[in-house]
Amino acid sequence: MFAASFVIGWCCYWLNLYLQLWTYPAATETVPFVLGKSLYYALLLPAVLSLRQWLASWPLLLDLTSRARPRHIQTTPGQGIVLFGIAATALLGASLWSDWIYPLALLAPLLLAISLQQMRGQPTILSGLADGNWSRILLPAAATIIIGLVTQASHQLFGPAYLLNLPLIGGPALLGLPLPAWPWLALLGLLGIWIADQLTTPWKQRPRQPRYRPRFPIKVVVEDRLAKPNRR
């Protein structure tokens, strides 16, 4: 999980090289910057999943997010192809129209994940909505928001480590991040759940080993020393 978080974090950093949504003006030395960001990226996804599990341990919270009205959601491979085309267009256009397409480009990894599952006929992270279960959506989103609040609060408290540049998003801000940007941050938690599902699927599908049964009965000799006469 740490390795996957490390790779995904640096992929987001690579995507930001085209979008230029945040910069690090104080990062003047390469080695400390790379080591610090690598540690941060490696811990990010495990932190989201751990916090999500902690939120799910509250019975009332889990009950509130899993007892909604069932919704009939039908997914087809054709819908997956459409989502795949939208995500691919967003990624390809990120280098050409970064100021206009970056909200969609940030959603592109999640759209790619959902589209691939739809094209394969597999259940997606939205499949629980058919049973009224919103926990797989709301709890990861809440965990990501909490981590974002802690990150932005430390950013405001200890000084600006990075500068944000969000051309299309303005208005009131919470801890330096505009309010419309927080839903996009919450969607990153859904991407983390998808990655965790892909990493744990081989272990979930692994057949259980049969219980060990000896081919021949094993004789065990039991000797009652209390009933045996004491010889002197």
Which residues partner with 163 through β-bridges? 23
Which residue range(s) make up the domain with 101? 2-204
In a domain, 118, yes or no: yes
pLDDT at residue 40, as a whole number? 85
Q: Is the pTM of this model over 0.75?
A: no
User: Distance between CA atoms of 127 and 136, rounded to whole angstroms?
Assistant: 9
In a domain, 42, yes or no: yes
| DSSP character string of 39-59 | HHHHHHHHHHHHHHHHHHT-H
In a domain, 232, yes or no: no
99 C-beta neighbours (distance < 10 Å), count: 12
In a domain, 131, yes or no: yes
Per-residue pLDDT reduced to its tens digit, 190-225 = 888 888 777 776 655 555 555 656 565 666 666 656
In a domain, 45, yes or no: yes
User: Distance between CA atoms of 51 and 202, rounded to whole angstroms?
Assistant: 23
Q: Which residue has the tokens 């009332």?
A: 60
In a domain, 223, yes or no: no
Per-residue pLDDT reduced to its tens digit, 171-184 = 787 887 888 788 88
70 versus 87: the higher-pLDDT residue is 87
Our count of domains for the chain comes to 1
Average pLDDT, the chain: 78
Q: Which residue has the tokens 């104080």?
A: 26
